[in-house]
Structure 1
Amino acid sequence: MNKTLVKYYPNDPVILGKIGKAYGIFGWIKIISFTETSENIFCYQPWYVYYANLWYQLEVSNWKHQDKNIIIKLKDINNRDTASKLTNHDIIVNATQLPSLDNGEYYLKDIIGCQVINLEGFIIGVVINFIETISNYIIVVQQKIKNQFKKKEFLIPFIDKIIKTVDLNTKIIQVDWEPVL
């Protein structure tokens, strides 16, 4: 890539999307936006990408809808070969760019690393990821096991009926859920 190394990379990186395949021969690229409204990804600038162990800052010079996709044109990316090098890389912004939330609200990224306990205080594990479904999110909880070769994961629906409390200060999520061991 012919971009310059970013000296000040995001100190609190947040993934807001993913770069898809190159589109056409002039360096346009499809993107997948993880924002609630897909166009909102353009409200958060600059974008960063971590490529070949270096941080690069991306500058969107143009974007448009193409069928059901969003395609972008990046400054200094003028051909398909260069655009293809970015395929499958995350679109990253600094968390300070995100809007502040009301009391009791949080971003999903904030629950990664939280310990999950049930109503009896049994430690189920730690949130390592989340999955978006049509109706709700599901948290992926990895059980702490002494044998590192056997890591068990639980999928817990992130719905009010199951999630009782989320305390980001103590990094504890209390759930009304029993793991099947």
Structure 2
Amino acid sequence: MTDKAQLASKKQRSNLVNVGRITTVFGVKGWLKLHSNTEPPEAIFDYAPWWLKTKHGVKEVEIDAGRPHGNAFVVHIKGLDDRDLAREYCQVDIAVERDQMPELEEGEFYWHQLEGLNVISEYDGQTFRLGQVQRLLETGANDVLVIKGNADSMDQNERLVPYVPGQFIKSIDLDAGEMIVEWDPEF
């Protein structure tokens, strides 16, 4: 592969967003079970191609069949008909290119857009740097931000802040890479 091709490939991979995860093999003919992170879950099948983030690098695959199975899905990768070969894809993230994601309405955000934002709390008339959004957790009532302290924050603590715009989330500025929250830094 030429340097130019490697650079183009790297640029393309850096544009990927995780939309699910292959969990285990299913049956003996190369089928795989997966968990979808899309909303609704079956929307994962609206994207193609899928990029699998394997331990050997990122690999493009084509899905030729898929269906619901319990609270997850089972899929078949075109040309993969062996259970033992399919096992190599277990515990692998499924990604798609960002430009395939539908446009959101004003004030709506994808989780991948929130991850990495610096979080500042304006609480009780004071300003506190809490850290960066590491990930989000899905709960029954609302999603929760997992914020981890960094070199610029008031401490190195991890905080869980409910993602409730208008109540705890005051503003999000993707261009500035910041989120303003109203959260007691003692929590």
Question: Which residue number corresponds to residue 159 of structure 1?
Answer: 164
Question: Which residue number corresponds to residue 128 of structure 1?
Answer: 134
Mapped contact 2:120–2:127 kept (Cα < 8 A): yes
Question: Which residue number corresponds to residue 3 of structure 1?
Answer: none
In structure 2, do the counterparts of structure 1 residues 151 and 118 end up closer, same or farther at CA, with 3 Å as the change threshold? closer
Root-mean-square deviation (CA, aligned residues, Å) is 2.0
State the one-letter code of the partner of 1:166: I
SS at match of 2:90: coil
Runs of 4+ in 1 over 6 A off after TM superposition: none
Write the deviation string for residues 3-26 of structure 1: whole angstroms up to 9, x where unpaired: xxx974433110000001101100
Please, which runs of 5 or more residues in structure 2 have no aligned partner?
A: 1-5
The more displaced of 78-87 and 68-77 is 68-77
Question: Which residue number corresponds to residue 107 of structure 1?
Answer: 110
Write the deviation string for residues 37-89 of structure 1: whole angstroms up to 9, x where unpaired: 11110101100012233221111011122344311111111011111111110
> How does the TM-score come out when normalised to structure 2?
0.85
Mapped contact 1:112–1:129 kept (Cα < 8 A): yes
State the one-letter code of the partner of 1:132: E
In structure 2, do the counterparts of structure 1 residues 115 and 66 end up closer, same or farther at CA, with 3 Å as the change threshold? closer
In structure 2, do the counterparts of structure 1 residues 69 and 144 end up closer, same or farther at CA, with 3 Å as the change threshold? closer
Q: Give me the whole-angstrom Cα distance separating, in 1, the residues matched to 2:80 and 2:117.
A: 39
Q: Give me the whole-angstrom Cα distance separating, in 1, the residues matched to 2:87 and 2:130.
A: 41
Q: CA deviation at 1:114?
A: 1.1
In structure 2, do the counterparts of structure 1 residues 151 and 35 end up closer, same or farther at CA, with 3 Å as the change threshold? same
State the one-letter code of the partner of 1:13: L
Question: Which residue number corresponds to residue 149 of structure 2?
Answer: 143
Task: Among all aligned residue pairs of Structure 1 and Structure 2, give the percentage whose two residues are the same amino acid.
Answer: 29
